[in-house]
Chains A and B, each alone.
Chain A
Amino acid sequence: MPPPLLRFDGVICRFGPVTAVGGVTCDLAAGSFVALVGASGSGKSTLLKTVNTLVRPSEGRVLFGAEDVSTLKPARLRRRVGYVFQGVGLFPHFSVAENIAIGPRLAGEKLPPARIAELLQLVELDPAFARRMPDELSGGQRQRVGVARALAGGPELLIMDEPFGALDPVTRDALGRKVRELHERLGLTTVMVTHDMAEALLLADRVLVMDKGALVADETPHALLAGAGGAVAQRLASVPREQAERLAAMEDHA
């Protein structure tokens, strides 16, 4: 078995009296698409942010490759870890091209226009978008740019925090599929935080369920649908399953 690309080793995160993550140990293999699912407040976002050190664990460590992320320079680490989040956070005073190129620019590298056009095409945007300003884009277009920005540095790992949470269902579905496709095409390792089990089941090949700061299930989507993973995971999985059953029943009826 190849060594894991990412390893959480007894990670505990405390904020004052609150323990957001209460001791998570888990290995993620290179090339896997992992969904981190849980209710709000379950600690999933906090755990994700320990990967690019936006959050520093109170105890335990996170290994990226063989290195403890806390020993890496944040700027260097974050170039190797693409980050997409619900807020998108495009820099409003930068054009689309400047937004996409910011990571490499910080590392002293200037992205050629051809590379920016290529990145825009990867997320299915016309290369002419490069010159636009963020406030001229729709929500879905902005998040596409956000994904292109995360990919600009050629990361090994893509971490996403509720990346499609603010988008309408159609855009959300399209962008989800796109990301999955890019994951395959670019050979990425992807970790996606979501509270939407349906999204997790459809996109990921491994689903981790968190509850009150602890990892309570670690299953394949297939196993979860088959009833594995315990009570918390099943409560989350039952929603899309029942919805699917009801939809199927309607179709049968017709």
Chain B
Amino acid sequence: MGEIWDILPSLGEKLAAHVVLSASAIGLAMLIALPMAVWASRSAIVARLALSLASLVQTIPALALLALFFPLLLSLRAVFGEGLPAFGFLPALMALTLYALLPILRNAVTAQANLDEGVLEAADGVGMTKWQKLVLVEAPLSAPFIMAGIRTASVWTIGAATLSTTIGQPSLGDPIFAGLQTQNWALVLAGCLASAGLALAADNLLWVIEVGLARRSRAMTFGGIAVVAAGILAALWAQGSGSDERRIVIAAKQFSEQYILAQLIGSRLEAAGYAVEYRDGLGSAVVHSAVAASSVDISVDYTGTIWTNYLNRKDNPGREAMYETIVDWEARENKVKVLGRLGFENAYAFAMRQDRARELGVTSLADLAVVASQLTVGGDPEFFERPEWAAVQAAYGLRFAKSRNFAPTFMYNALASGEADVISAYTSDGRIAADKLVVLDDPEGALPSYDALLMLSPRIAGDKGVVAALQPLIGAITVEAMREANFAVDREDAGKLTPKAAAEGLAKQAGL
């Protein structure tokens, strides 16, 4: 685990982004919560309403809240125009701000409610106006309690900000998500350590300010504020010092293959003289719209995904027809250029352990249907909501005893340990070969094809240099080569490779 110390210094840029995002969210939450608390102190209805709403927000998991802002902002583009960013900083800021409201609001309202009646009467008695009373008496007396709320909000926000990776905002969540997907625990720990360290540092600094306010020590209060401000400014400066020129942004969803292909694409573009930037660990639903909006420039998507999720088609016209239709549709509807097929498929397939399949006499989905009622099926969290699942169930009359959700990485372990008898595997997954799994036939053709597509955003669709650099990838990657690269990243032994190293191997295999 000594590598953690090698990774930590490379997280500077993520740390800066994390600090700027968290500080902005807390700052905005304060701008909203503090006036609201003043209003609430003058009206019991406002107090109850504001606190209920803020509490309600807390019941939504942070991950879901972040994900919800993406479609919300997309739909708001109808009002505010296409310039409204639905991806990255803005949705992350809005979700985290909502999340930070409650502790600040609650502490501010409670502090106001607990102010000494006599002191308030004296403020009126000596002739203070409402504003003077607020500034001279209520605010300073509430300040230590409000500061305690801001501290809580800061710790929450810094923690939750790691999740903003999934909507395309760089943060300390990037190494965490990347590490989780590629089972690189040093990367996960480095990310966790950095964000925990940041949270602790913020908590302690704000504590100094809180104590300074409570003890009316200007040195502590302003000293603490100065250090916080210096930290935020340093982060802003670190962010701003990057070149203003827009780099080519390469997206990766949350699985190993995507990380590897992103690196492969990136290395080719860098070789061609382009500056690139990676947005890893994006939610699957976010990527397609992000490319269409040119929030990211390049992604690898799959025909089956686009077919069912975005064209909303349930039929299966066959592999070629599906591809042609998608290329036309993307060009027409989204101005997205489908550069071509990489050559392999990452389709859904049902896989079993060899011994288990032999024991049950199962070689195809039709065989599986006979014994399914005694079996447990495992799938990624998305799978059981997908039309493929419905299609397979309908085609073969599959009824399992139990279905369980696993993160894609852990699904294979579940199969090995017998927690699941059959899983929804991916055909390009290296572990199919490594674990000697049996992939069940699909005689009814219920599962659609999942050709990997190279997608270019409208912004770079016409860039001849980009097209020239990436054209050699089309048709160059066989499913065997992709499986090997995926396995190299997923394996836990000495042969484990980083996505970057695996991408180099993949390039060699493809003869590039």
Using a CB–CB distance below 8 Å, which chain A residues touch chain B?
A: 52, 54, 74-79, 83, 85-93, 102-103, 106-107, 146, 149
Contact = CB atoms under 8 A, between A and B. Distances in A.
Interface of B: 116-129, 132, 136-137, 140-141, 216
A91 B128 contact: no
A83 B216 CA distance: 27
B131 to A, nearest CB: 11
A91 B119 contact: yes
Given A87-B118, A89-B118, A74 B125 contact: no
A72 to B, nearest CB: 11
Nearest to A98: B136
Contact of A89 (B119, B127, B216): B119
The DSSP consensus for interface residues of chain A is: mixed
B78 to A, nearest CB: 49
A85 B216 contact: no
A148 B239 CA distance: 56
A83 B125 contact: yes
Contact of A92 (B121, B127, B136, B141): B141
B139 to A, nearest CB: 10
11 contacts: A75-B128, A78-B126, A83-B122, A86-B118, A87-B117, A91-B119, A91-B122, A91-B136, A102-B126, A102-B136, A106-B132
Nearest to B121: A89
B125 A85 contact: yes
A146 B128 CA distance: 16
Contacts of B116: 87, 89, 92
B122 A88 contact: yes
B353 to A, nearest CB: 71
Nearest to A88: B118
B212 to A, nearest CB: 13
Contacts of A79: 127
Given A92-B141, A93-B140, A93-B216, A103 B127 contact: yes
B118 to A, nearest CB: 3
Contacts of B126: 78, 83, 102-103, 106, 149
A148 to B, nearest CB: 12
Contacts of B132: 106
Contacts of B118: 85-89
A106 B141 contact: no
Nearest to A75: B127
B127 A106 contact: yes
Nearest to A104: B126
B21 to A, nearest CB: 34
B125 A92 contact: no
Contacts of A88: 118, 122
Contacts of B128: 75, 106
Nearest to B214: A93
Contacts of A146: 122
B264 to A, nearest CB: 63
A170 B121 CA distance: 26
Contact of B125 (A52, A76, A93, A107): A52
Nearest to B120: A89
Nearest to A95: B216
Contacts of A85: 118, 121-122, 125
A245 to B, nearest CB: 37
A54 B122 CA distance: 10
Given A54-B124, A78-B125, 18 more contacts: A75-B128, A75-B129, A78-B124, A79-B127, A83-B122, A85-B122, A87-B119, A87-B121, A89-B116, A89-B118, A89-B119, A89-B121, A89-B122, A89-B125, A91-B136, A93-B216, A106-B127, A106-B128
Contact of B119 (A92, A103, A106): A92
A86 B126 CA distance: 15
Interface centre among A74, A91, A92, A146 (most CB of B within 10 A): A91
A96 to B, nearest CB: 14
A76 B126 CA distance: 10
Contacts of A52: 125
Nearest to A78: B127
A165 to B, nearest CB: 12
A78 B129 CA distance: 11
A87 B141 contact: no
A102 B141 CA distance: 16
Contacts of A90: 119, 122
Instruction: Output the residue of A77, A83, A93, A107 with the most chain B CB within 10 A.
Output: A93
Query: Which 7 pairs, one residue from A and one from B, show the smallest C-beta to C-beta distance?
Result: A87-B118, A89-B122, A78-B127, A89-B118, A83-B125, A75-B127, A103-B126
Contacts of A106: 126-128, 132
A91 B125 CA distance: 12
B217 to A, nearest CB: 12
A146 B216 CA distance: 22
A151 to B, nearest CB: 12
Nearest to A133: B216
Nearest to B129: A75
B127 A74 contact: yes
Between A76, A106, A107, the greatest number of chain B beta carbons within 10 A of the residue's beta carbon is seen for A106
A146 B118 CA distance: 12
B376 to A, nearest CB: 64
A68 B217 CA distance: 44
Contacts of A76: 127
B1 to A, nearest CB: 50
Nearest to B122: A89
Contact of B122 (A74, A77, A87, A107): A87
A52 B123 CA distance: 13
Contacts of A54: 121, 124-125
A169 to B, nearest CB: 22
Nearest to B213: A93
Nearest to A107: B127
A91 B137 contact: yes
Nearest to B140: A93
Contacts of B127: 74-79, 103, 106-107
A92 B216 CA distance: 11
Contacts of A107: 127
A242 B124 CA distance: 40
Nearest to B132: A106
B85 to A, nearest CB: 44
Contacts of A87: 116-119, 121-122
A87 B129 CA distance: 20
A91 B119 CA distance: 6
A88 to B, nearest CB: 6
Most buried by A among B118, B120, B141: B118
A246 to B, nearest CB: 36
Contacts of B141: 92-93
Contacts of B125: 52, 54, 78, 83, 85, 89
